[in-house]
């Protein structure tokens, strides 16, 4: 048996191909879309044309045997820009929810409708969070009621902070079927395109990742066919019966999605950190004060050494978790959460230090590290805050009921 930390040629080709798109197409317009704070449709169209925004590309990476395809692609895209990067990959979170909770037939029906094709782009959104249910997923209020007479589900409630929310063609919505069972009484539903009763509420203006669209999604008596319940009714009934009898289960739909997506989210954070680090390194070599490049001061050089080291360490955690997920290994020590926690906090620290190294220039919008620092902050908040990652890790390593 051989062990290797070297990337194979396929991975190198993937990395270089996505990197070229990030450098040539995303980077040059990153500041413009950040300022406009609008969804970057033309960039998405370019990404679709070359196949980076497509079901085929993401399905290939998801099925790739090492699990590294997604983190490699994510890191390069987000190296280009995080707001545009999230606009390109936002759909994949909803697609991952269908894959985690749906049947093969449901994946086959909905995944193509989430991406569309060049010239006819489609988007998808994943809607779990609510105004009173962010970290506390069990406090969710959106209700799903089954209408046996018509074999339809009726969704009622308000979702918030949904990436692509309201703009999307397909929405994946988590809703409560049995409130007494808290998280175990929830299920995931697909709301097909043009369904009556679903509308966009407030669009949020944000601190960072401003090209990405984040909005409320209002569900007012939304009626969807029975086949839109992910996993199907028999599986849901079985799961609910088990929960009522008190058997342990890992069936909570939001968690099933997040477990799969956390290493990929960590890779996005690494892309931002690496971008800021590279700019800071170049700047430190050329900026002279007191008659020498500022990098010749240990204070600056050591900051850069720490930045480089923490980026490498984060990547190893992310790649390990992605590999484990692909091999079907369970995250006994919450390895997915570990990877997202470390990568997210690294992105915040590295971008802040990059600003420090650039001095006054770092604080202005003349240089991109200011935007990168704003973008990095979301990585300690979404897909589970840093505190929630620590909670998950603490419970996993101790088995104790830590609150």
Ligand X SMILES: Cc1cc2nc3c(=O)[nH]c(=O)nc-3n(C[C@H](O)[C@H](O)[C@H](O)COP(=O)(O)OP(=O)(O)OC[C@H]3O[C@@H](n4cnc5c(N)ncnc54)[C@H](O)[C@@H]3O)c2cc1C
Instruction: Return the active site residues.
Output: 383
Q: How far is Cα 271 from Cα 282, in angstroms, rounded to an integer? A: 17
Q: What is the dihedral of CA 42, 58, 188, 159, to 10 degrees?
A: -30
| Nearest distance in Å: CB 331, ligand X | 19
Chain position carrying tokens 């994510």: 74
* Among positions 31, 50, 154, 391, the unique one binding ligand X when judged by CB under 6 A: 391
* Among positions 87, 106, 214, 337, the unique one binding ligand X when judged by CB under 6 A: 214
Chain position carrying tokens 């669009």: 203
Give 188's DSSP letter: E
Q: Which is nearer to ligand X, 326 or 374 (CB)?
A: 374
Return the structure tokens found at 89: 């990959």
Q: Which is nearer to ligand X, 127 or 284 (CB)?
A: 127
Tell me the residue nearest to ligand X as measured from the CB. Answer: 134
From residue 217 to residue 256, what is the string marking binding to ligand X with x (rule CB under 6 A)?
----------------------------------------
Q: Which of 350, 345, 337, 334 is nearest to 379 (CA)?
A: 345
| Nearest distance in Å: CB 370, ligand X | 18
| SS3 readout for 82-143 | HHHHHHHHHHHHHHHHHHHHCCHHHHHHHHHHHHEECCEECCEEEECCECCECCCHHHCCCE
From residue 64 to residue 103, what is the string marking binding to ligand X with x (rule CB under 6 A)?
-----------------------------x----------
* Among positions 276, 348, 358, 388, the unique one binding ligand X when judged by CB under 6 A: 388
Angle between helix 55-63 and helix 69-80 axes, rounded to 10 deg: 130
Task: Point out which span in 44-52, 96-104, 120-128, 145-153 binds ligand X (CB under 6 A).
Answer: 120-128
| CA 179 to the chain's CA centroid | 27
Residue 136 sits at φ, ψ, to 5 deg, of -85, 80
| Nearest distance in Å: CB 397, ligand X | 16
* Among positions 56, 108, 387, 397, the unique one binding ligand X when judged by CB under 6 A: 387
Q: How far is Cα 218 from Cα 187, in angstroms, rounded to an integer? A: 18
| Helix, strand or coil, per DSSP, at residue 160 | strand
| Helix, strand or coil, per DSSP, at residue 402 | coil
Task: Point out which span in 2-10, 23-31, 113-121, 381-389 binds ligand X (CB under 6 A).
Answer: 381-389
| Nearest distance in Å: CB 45, ligand X | 22
> Residue 382 interacts with ligand X (CB under 6 A)?
yes
Instruction: Considering only residues 128 through 187, tell me which ones interact with ligand X, judged by CB under 6 A.
Output: 128-129, 134-136, 161-163
Q: How many residues bind ligand X (CB under 6 A)?
A: 22
Q: Which is nearer to ligand X, 92 or 346 (CB)?
A: 92
Which positions lie near ligand X, rule CB under 6 A? 93, 126-129, 134-136, 161-163, 206, 209, 214, 378, 381-383, 385, 387-388, 391
């Amino acid at each position: 048996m051989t062990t290797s930390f070297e990337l194979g040629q396929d991975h190198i080709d993937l990395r270089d191909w996505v990197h070229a798109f990030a450098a040539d197409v995303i980077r040059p317009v990153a500041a413009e879309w950040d300022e406009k704070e609008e969804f970057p449709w033309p960039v998405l169209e370019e990404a679709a044309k070359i196949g980076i925004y497509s079901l085929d590309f993401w399905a290939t990476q998801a099925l790739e045997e090492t699990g590294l395809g997604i983190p490699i692609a994510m890191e390069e895209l987000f190296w280009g820009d995080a707001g545009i990067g999230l606009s390109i990959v936002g759909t994949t979170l909803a697609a991952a929810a269908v894959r985690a909770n749906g049947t093969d037939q449901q994946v086959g029906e909905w995944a193509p409708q989430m991406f569309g094709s060049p010239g006819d782009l489609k988007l998808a959104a994943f809607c779990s969070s609510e105004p009173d249910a962010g970290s506390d997923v069990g406090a969710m209020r959106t209700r799903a009621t089954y209408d046996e007479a018509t074999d339809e589900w009726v969704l009622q409630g308000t979702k918030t902070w949904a990436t692509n929310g309201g703009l999307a063609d397909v929405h994946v919505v988590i809703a409560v079927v049995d409130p007494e069972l808290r998280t175990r009484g929830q299920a995931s539903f697909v709301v097909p395109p043009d369904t009556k009763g679903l509308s966009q509420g407030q669009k949020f203006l944000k601190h960072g990742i401003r090209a990405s669209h984040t909005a409320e999604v209002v569900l007012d008596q939304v009626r969807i066919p029975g086949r839109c319940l992910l996993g199907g009714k028999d599986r849901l009934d079985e799961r609910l019966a088990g929960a009522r009898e008190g058997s342990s289960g890992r069936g909570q739909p939001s968690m099933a999605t997040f477990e799969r997506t956390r290493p990929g989210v960590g890779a996005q954070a690494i892309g931002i950190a690496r971008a800021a680090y590279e700019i800071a390194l170049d700047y430190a070599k050329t900026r002279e004060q007191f008659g020498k490049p500022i990098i010749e001061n240990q204070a600056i050089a050591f900051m850069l050494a720490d930045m480089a080291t923490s980026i490498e360490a984060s990547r190893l955690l992310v790649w390990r978790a992605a590999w484990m997920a692909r091999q079907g290994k369970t995250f006994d020590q919450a390895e997915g959460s570990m990877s997202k926690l470390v990568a997210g906090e690294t992105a915040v620290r590295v971008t802040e230090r990059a600003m420090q190294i650039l001095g006054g220039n770092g604080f202005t919008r003349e240089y991109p590290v200011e935007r990168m620092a704003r973008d990095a902050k979301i990585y300690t908040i979404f897909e589970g805050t840093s505190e929630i990652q620590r909670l998950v890790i603490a419970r996993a390593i101790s088995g104790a009921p830590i609150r």
